[in-house]
Amino acid sequence: MRPAEAAVPAGSRAAGAAAPAGSRAAGATGVPPRERGRAWGRVGAGGTPSGGRTPSAPAGAPALHRHRATALHPGAWWLWALALGTAATRTTNPLLLTLLVTVSAYVVVTRRPHAPWSRSYGAFVKLALAVLLIRLLFTTVLGSPVPGTHTLLTLPEVPLPDWAQGIRLGGRVTAEGLAFALYDAMKLATLLICVGAANALANPSRLLKSLPGALYEMGVAVVVALTFAPNLIADVQRLRAARRLRGRPDRGLRGLLQVGLPVLEGALERSVALAAAMDARGYGRTADVPAPVRRTTAALTLGGLLGVCAGTYGLLTAAGGTYGVPVLLAGVAAAVAGLWLGGRRTVRTRYRPDRWDARAWLVTASGVAVAALLFLAAARDPAALHPGVVPLVAPALPLWPAAAVLVGLLPAFVTPAPDPAPKTAVKEPS
């Protein structure tokens, strides 16, 4: 071993080995190896070099720790998105639904991290557009129960037997029927886009860590299912780009077959690798719990879920307004107690758990406020939130419900901005 190498502590050599490639390249071209060894070797009692300068850590490590310290709890993103989706179910006004989609899209654009799983928002938007087109197509072909006087076109009507009364194929297509179908389909499309916003903003692996122990195994299955779509989209984009670089077609039926088979193969390989990794890490192991505790857990969980269903039914019906809220609260309490007892069967710990801080409360409160205010608007002024189509009139934008929807923009201002996308180094020709 050379003297210059003997003077360098092992920790410093490890740090130098972990330094980014750019630092090594700069050192190789500017500073001789002996001087680099001296700079790292002169370490005082305080653990810093004698020159008073602290050696720089790898560029990715501080950004990673800073991101973990400032990242929002993934559950807050899901609660915010589900609250916006709940608000969308209270109205068929296309202007309010478009405003809800705009709010979710703005938050996604400004706060979406640069990760493969965050690219699924576009797929959910395309799925929502497909829902709109399919609903309009069905209304055109099968007709609409809404009577109308503004006939757009008349299709040839196919006679059906007597047992198919109430169903028709073809006939008149009215503007009122298409408007009713569009308003109703926009509600489902907005809900899908809100779910896509949650998928693009919340880290699925961090969300899995936040689940209670009783739901951990089910959460693993849900997270694997949720991450399948982003990985599938990334594989399709990668394979289509590779085919374009090779001058091969990536569109049409032939391109779909040439891209679909490698994507399916990659999905199967990931599934097998994930199953092997989960089995090696002991997924599915449970602790020994006494039989009375297991029976109590099952009774509390089942009774709580039944109570939640009965309470929700009571809230949705006029006759159950007296017992709906007490039964719902009792069901939620029983279900929470059952989940807490069921968590004792799962032996697992949390490494660096995500904190539910003030920003998570603000994000959740903004979504809940939008849903609550639209519930109130639907009760006070149902005509503004459900515009009629007979007679056919242009929908108006109610002012204070629109202002309530804008409260959903709060996460774009109270949450930290995502880290910039990593720049790929351009290699100079040798």
- Same-domain check for residues 340 and 393: no
Domain end point (choices 345, 369, 386) = 345
The pTM of this model reads 0.64
- Same-domain check for residues 36 and 116: no
Give residue-wise pLDDT tens across range 267-304: 778 778 877 877 777 766 666 767 787 788 888 888 88
Task: Considering only residues 89 and 6, tell me which one the structure prediction assigns the higher pLDDT.
Answer: 89
Q: Band the pLDDT of 325: cuts 50, 70, 90.
A: confident
Task: Considering only residues 200 and 261, tell me which one the structure prediction assigns the higher pLDDT.
Answer: 200
Q: Band the pLDDT of 429: cuts 50, 70, 90.
A: very low
- Kindly state whether residue 421 falls inside one of the protein's structural domains: no
Q: Band the pLDDT of 60: cuts 50, 70, 90.
A: very low
Q: Is the pLDDT of residue 368 over 90?
A: yes
pLDDT at residue number 122: 87
- Same-domain check for residues 294 and 271: no
Q: Is the pLDDT of residue 73 over 80?
A: yes
pLDDT at residue number 292: 80
When mean pLDDT is compared across 7-21, 287-301, 357-371, the lowest value belongs to 7-21
Contacts of 80 (CB under 8 A, 6+ apart): 198, 363, 364, 366, 367, 408, 411
Give the integer Cα–Cα distance in Å for 263 and 280: 26
Task: Considering only residues 429 and 290, tell me which one the structure prediction assigns the higher pLDDT.
Answer: 290
Stretch 154-165: mean pLDDT, rounded?
79
Give residue-wise pLDDT tens across range 243-252: 888 887 777 7
| Torsion-angle region of 364 (φ positive above 0: left; ψ -120 to 50: alpha; else: beta) | alpha
- Same-domain check for residues 42 and 99: no
Q: Is the pLDDT of residue 427 over 50?
A: no
Stretch 55-65: mean pLDDT, rounded?
44
- Kindly state whether residue 67 falls inside one of the protein's structural domains: no
Rg of the Cα trace of the chain? 29
- Same-domain check for residues 166 and 202: yes
Reading the block at residue 320, the tokens are 């159950």
When mean pLDDT is compared across 85-89, 166-170, 355-359, the lowest value belongs to 166-170
Reading the block at residue 275, the tokens are 């199953």
Q: Please report which residue ranges of 117-215 form alpha helices under DSSP H.
A: 121-142, 175-201, 204-209
CB 111 within 8 A of CB 411: yes
- Same-domain check for residues 46 and 91: no
When mean pLDDT is compared across 132-136, 192-196, 251-255, the lowest value belongs to 251-255
Locate the DSSP E strands across 246-305.
none
- Same-domain check for residues 283 and 378: yes
- Kindly state whether residue 420 falls inside one of the protein's structural domains: no
Q: What is the DSSP string of 343-355?
A: GGGB----SSPPP
- Kindly state whether residue 62 falls inside one of the protein's structural domains: no
- Same-domain check for residues 307 and 284: no
Reading the block at residue 155, the tokens are 């299709």
Give the integer Cα–Cα distance in Å for 70 and 210: 16
- Same-domain check for residues 258 and 275: yes
Domain count, the chain: 3
Distance from chain centroid for Cα 75? 10
pLDDT at residue number 316: 66
pLDDT at residue number 27: 39
Give residue-wise pLDDT tens across range 96-134: 999 999 999 999 999 888 887 777 888 899 999 999 999
Give the integer Cα–Cα distance in Å for 320 and 73: 36
Domain hosting 304: range is: 290-345
Give residue-wise pLDDT tens across range 18-57: 333 333 333 334 444 444 444 333 334 334 444 444 444 4
- Same-domain check for residues 40 and 97: no
Domain end point (choices 327, 345, 363) = 345
- Same-domain check for residues 179 and 42: no
Contacts of 235 (CB under 8 A, 6+ apart): 262, 263, 266, 267
- Same-domain check for residues 299 and 365: no
- Kindly state whether residue 66 falls inside one of the protein's structural domains: no
pLDDT at residue number 268: 78
- Kindly state whether residue 58 falls inside one of the protein's structural domains: no
The terminus-to-terminus CA distance of the chain in angstroms comes to: 33
Stretch 2-22: mean pLDDT, rounded?
39
